[in-house]
Amino acid sequence: MIQGVSKPALARHHGQPGVGRNKIKMRPMDNTPGGASGPHSPILYLTKVFHFSSSHRMVSPYLSEEENFRRYGKCANPGGHGHNYRLEVTVAGPMDPRTGCVMDLELLARVVREQVIDVLDHRNINEIPHFRQVVPSMENIAHWIWQEIRGRTHPARLHRIRLFETESNFVEYRGE
């Protein structure tokens, strides 16, 4: 069988196997250990998308109030402002020939939910301990997210974080 297509179905679609130019070579899927995840297996990239809403105030503890307003404008207002963030988490690795997957998506979802979403969603990011002395820019938030989930996506490796603050503003971080 070729990926879920039976020989009779192929014969109906392509004519009878072995007859004239419609000859079809049937190769079974490689489900043996070392097949799809052997030494020459392709690396696949798996991305899961998450959403969370948070507020923050762009303010650096190293700048005066005046310098913060000059640098960050209305984003430095004492009341802060909020965003509906879109987070893309991409992992990479070979496909497990037994499961056909790079990693268990439920595991990835649980890791991101517990380490990131539950911490940031409907919160003021400035109140999270890490951001008390760090400007909660989307760059710093993306870097923090990477640190929180790095090493927890086994057997895949964390490849990329994309954090969208708005439809037109996002940051990408690859752990470099």
Counting every residue, how long is the chain?
A: 176
* CB distance 30 to 36 below 8 Å: yes
Instruction: Specify whether the CB–CB gap between 59 and 78 falls below 8 A.
Output: no
Cβ atoms of 86 and 138 closer than 8 Å: no
- Catalytic residue IDs: 75, 122, 165
Tell me the one-letter amino acid at 12.
R
CA 92/CA 43 separation, integer angstroms: 6
